[in-house]
Amino acid sequence: MRMALVAGLAALVVGAMPSATAAPTADDGGYVNSAARCTAPNSVVVFGATDGSRVAICKTPGGAYEYRGVRLSDGAKLIVAAEPSGDGNFFAENNGIGYMVTAKSLVISAGNKLIRDEPMVDFHGEQTPAAATPTSTTPLPPPLAAEKGGGAR
C-alpha cells in the first residue's frame, strides 16, 4: 500500500513539472509558420513562447506597435494594437481582456482579475548594448627607457 502511495505521488510530481520541449523554430521575424511573426514592412521588437501560447510584438514603419498572439490549444489568433509600458513590457487589449508581454511571462487578465500567468519558455527581446569597459582616470607613469625608442646604436 505504501509503495502504491509513493508511486502515485511521484507520478503527480512528474506530471506537474514544466515541460522540457525544444524552443519553437524562429528567425529574425519571430516564429516560423506562426501568426506570432512580424512581416515586412513591420519589424519584430520582442517575441516569446509559453507552453500554451506564442506572441510577437511588431513595430510598424510609422512607429505603432502590434500584438500578434496564437493560443496553441485551438490555433486561435489575435492581432491588435499594442503599447509599450515604458519598462520593456507591452500591453494589448481586446474586448476587455488584457495581454501583458514581459520577458518572464504572458499575463492575461480581465480588469484586475488574473485569468492566466503563462511563464515564458523561450523569449527574444531587444538586445541592450553591453556596458563600455571602464577607462582608468589614473595617469600613466613615464615610459621606460626601452619604450622611448632610439637609444645608443
Would you state the pLDDT for residue 119? 98
* 3-state class (DSSP) for residue 49: strand
Is residue 104 within 8 Å of residue 89, measured between CB atoms? no
Is residue 48, in this structure, part of any structural domain at all?
Answer: yes
Q: What is the mean pLDDT of each run of 10 residues along the chain (153 residues)?
A: 35 40 81 92 96 96 97 96 93 98 97 96 70 54 59 53
Q: Within a domain: residue 79?
A: yes
Rounded Cα gap, residues 61 and 68, in angstroms: 16
Instruction: Evaluate whether residue 11 is within a structural domain.
Output: no
Q: Is 142 inside a domain boundary? A: no
Residue at 5 is within a domain: no
- 9 located within any domain: no
Position 113 scores a pLDDT of 97
Domain assignment present for residue 136? The answer is no
Domain region containing 63: 23-122
Rg (C-alpha) for the chain, rounded Å, is 25
What's residue 23's pLDDT?
76
- Exposed, middle or buried: residue 22 (CB in 10 Å: 0-12, 13-18, 19+)? exposed
Model-wide pTM > 0.85? no
Helix, strand or coil for residue 13? helix
Question: Is residue 17, in this structure, part of any structural domain at all?
Answer: no
Count: domains in the chain: 1
